Structure 1
């Protein structure tokens, strides 16, 4: 492939070696106007190269940014992306499988927030995929934080799409042009509300009931905090969501039903993750920490307190720094937590 001489060359096998490298590169390329040449794309994955959700993210970025692209094909392990001007409008993006559409949103949201104008977006595919944040995480945890930073963005779920059938749909409205403001979040405050939701489709309700009963036994939550929710979906599926609203923000953890995995095992898995978060005193969980890097970098500053950082987050820090003149400073904080601060480089 022929890449522009000024293209940023990125080795997709570095660090975590997954799709976040691609999504961050696409978003920041559109914002900065800098082309990139990505090689060894998703090299650390069982199925390397572009899967459907990654290809949809590439084509979504190409659409909103009038970009020129080479290598946009299923299985491709090399991509050259030359951005054009970001254009607002009405867009529809379909993965064509159960691949995560919440991750496609997280590709195009940044350039659309950066450029003046309003866009109405429609996403079809997997809304509840074990390898990505479920829609409720986006709507209840992530977007409220962006609105605190001054972003104008809303999202609504029309239809749940479980893995492997997909068929889900949600819409979003993004109005850009206002600069993001720094966010400083170090204390979560007292618990305001707790909720366990067992979402299921085309499966017996007893599965959801067993999950909730296990949550109640493990956490001691009240029956009023437990909900079994039957939804319509193209195929069978089940997700157990544990959300906690604090005075200064919310967190949500999820686990998904699988064949040969009992309802009690699903519950134990997500309860363990929530327990680690509650025991850490950190307001920001490991998945949210990764997703806060781009908005804080675009704001030019900000900080938060989180758990020990994942390789996913550390890799994302490296990619953000390749496009934007910022640096991430990670230091020890009280109670075994880590403080992440963004500052100009």
Structure 2
């Protein structure tokens, strides 16, 4: 049996990404791990519902041995078995993120001997996680470039705090991802804003999109109201999608009680403008998520507008499971991330 990897969840930014990355790579490498101080850097430490479901999903997919674990737990021991494909269904039971659960198990299911269909219910759009469209358009597109076949269907929207959303993912086996170097984004192909509203006045969407149009210089055809059934709400998500020759980026802001529509628009616009001005290929959040599949491919590189503490912590965890080195180099207005086998 392989030696147990010991992880401290309080290291670095101290969030749930440490646990999710460990689960993913434990499944793939067959390496058991033990983690203490789970999410020690958060206001409510320990496992939340979405983290617990990620553990349960990972355990089911590889028939792992897991000790007693529950919401609030700050210690976990995980010993994986063989990954198996199939039909899976996981219910978070709250507005906890479906996307983060899927990102935990996606790479592992690529290593399954047969195809998989995964249904996850919970939150699809909340401020603490990437929205479903980020998986579909940004993360999913890069996985496809690396040879993976992953299709993600947004069956029902789920906003905080009600949840009730549903994502369905179809994953084909792909034991070895291709290495890619993503240094340039290429020419812009498209750019547009979408405002999703459920159970709130349509005037909110209009104001948010008007602000985006003025700030980005976009016309009416690029400003799209996406009205949803009232029973999905209350909820409001503003998404800016920038499609380039080599990459697609998605920036998001969420409406909140007592927060003006103009403030919501400014959040999304500021992030998109920072990315555009940098000249980098990927934004901060895509950079964070892209490191793991790149490490599984055995190498590659990309440029990014920002390297967060979240990314640095994730890189350190990846290096505990895989024989890779991840470096971040300053290149003026952006950073270059390089993954090398050691």
Into which bin does the TM-score normalised by the smaller protein fall?
A: over 0.9
1:267-298 deviation per Cα after TM superposition (whole angstroms, max 9, x unaligned): 01111111100000001100000001110000
- Tell me the equivalent position of 2:302: 304
Which residue among 148, 152, 165 is the counterpart of 1:168?
165
Count of aligned pairs between the two proteins: 341
Are residues 1:49 and 2:46 paired?
yes
Q: Report the 3-state secondary structure (helix = DSSP H, G, I; strand = E; otherwise coil) of the residue aligned with 1:200.
A: strand
1:275-294 residue pairs with structure 2 within 5 A?
A: 275-294=273-292
What stretches of structure 1 of length at least 5 have no aligned partner?
none
Paired residues for 1:101-180 under 5 Å = 101-180=98-177
Pairing of 1:48-87 with structure 2 (within 5 A)? 48-87=45-84
Give distance in 2, aligned partners of 1:177 and 1:243.
28
Aligned to 1:216: 213
Which of 15, 18, 28 is equivalent to 2:15? Answer: 18
Choose from 221, 224, 228 the match for 1:227: 224
Query: RMSD in angstroms over aligned alpha carbons?
Result: 1.1
Q: Secondary structure at the match of 2:214?
A: helix
**Deviation of residue 183 (structure 1)?**
1.5
User: Which ranges of 4 or more aligned residues in structure 1 deviate by more than 4 Å?
Assistant: none
Of stretches 211-220 and 119-128 in structure 1, the one that deviates more from structure 2 is: 211-220
**Rounded Cα–Cα distance in structure 2 between residues aligned with 1:54 and 1:192:** 37
Match of 1:249 among 231, 247, 251: 247
Cα distance in 2 for residues equivalent to 1:282 and 1:251 = 11
2:148, 2:174 within 8 Å by CA — same for their partners in 1?
Answer: no
Residues 236-274 of structure 1 show CA distances to partners (whole Å, capped at 9, x for unaligned) of 000000011111111110000000100001001111111
Give the conservation status (yes or no) of the 8 Å contact 2:62–2:80: yes
User: Are 1:98 and 2:98 counterparts?
Assistant: no
Q: Is the 8 A contact 2:147 2:174 kept in 1?
A: no
SS for the counterpart of 1:176 is coil
Separation in 1 of the partners of 2:113 and 2:106?
12
Offset of residue 71 of structure 1 = 4.0
State the 1:308 CA deviation: 2.8
Q: State the match for 2:311 in structure 1.
A: 313
Cα distance in structure 2, aligned partners of 1:24 and 1:178: 18
Give me the whole-angstrom Cα distance separating, in 2, the residues matched to 1:148 and 1:136.
Answer: 17
Cα distance in 2, alignment partners of residues 330 and 219 from structure 1: 30
Question: What is the CA distance between 1:234 and its match in structure 2?
Answer: 3.4
1: CA distance, partners of 2:98 / 2:314: 19
Q: CA deviation at 1:66?
A: 0.2
What SS does structure 2 have at the residue aligned with 1:240? strand
* Contact 1:117–1:177, Cα closer than 8 Å, also in 2: no
Question: SS of the counterpart of 2:88?
Answer: strand
Partners of 1:241 and 1:284 in 2: CA distance: 16
Q: Distance in 2 between matches of 1:228 and 1:299?
A: 39
Indicate conservation of the 8 Å contact 1:71/1:80, yes or no: no
Give the TM-score of the pair, scaled to structure 2: 0.98
**Aligned residue number for residue 267 of structure 2:** 269
